[in-house]
Amino acid sequence: MIFSAIFVVIGLLALGLLFQLKRGHTSARVLENLAGHIRSVDIEAFRNLIDPEEEDFLRHRLPPAEFRKIQRERLRAAVEYISCAAQNAATLLRLGEAARGSPDPATAEAAEKLVDHAIRLRLYAFQAIPRLYFGIILPGWHPSSLRVVESYEQLTRQVVRLGLQYPVQGVSAAL
């Protein structure tokens, strides 16, 4: 009975993940004022929040109760950064889909890569957020979110490449 319930919960989570990916993938919003939908993400601040060395530094400098409190706040902030990056990826996914129809092969190829990077980032984000929440519950457990950072950096580079060929009106500056 418990085994069946676990499979049902896992199935529902997978269905929810697919729904979230599809929602970002086929949203009907118009792409005008795309830069207004992008939220800035400070990659260096995010790296600091998930840095194991920084965590060790705080662990050795602070009393245990204060460390746990600070670590929970840091992980909540990391969740916010990842959520922001995932929302940006959904917006850029729509941009990539629009640019894929370009008659210019270089633009279509850059758009295809942008779509690929955006989907990958959203997948990494949906994997990292539950891990970070688990780290909030158990402050001694360190979740790794490095894939999200690397994927977001690849995504921003791809937006710059696409921006050289397709009108993205300030999107790369907003990232």
Number of domains the chain is built from: 1
Classify residue 61: in a domain, yes or no.
yes
pLDDT at 23 over 60: no
Classify residue 10: in a domain, yes or no.
no
Classify residue 2: in a domain, yes or no.
no
Classify residue 156: in a domain, yes or no.
yes
* Domain of residue 126, residue span: 37-174
Classify residue 21: in a domain, yes or no.
no
Classify residue 51: in a domain, yes or no.
yes
Q: Could you count the other beta carbons within 10 Å of the beta carbon of residue 132?
A: 23
- Quick: pLDDT tens for 78-133: 999 999 999 999 988 888 888 888 888 888 888 899 999 999 999 999 988 998 89
Classify residue 18: in a domain, yes or no.
no
Classify residue 27: in a domain, yes or no.
no
Is-contact 150 144, C-beta < 8 A?
no
pTM over 0.85: no
Look at residues 150, 169, 163 and name the one whose alpha carbon lies nearest to residue 110: 163
Q: What is the dihedral of CA 96, 27, 90, 98, to 10 degrees?
A: 10
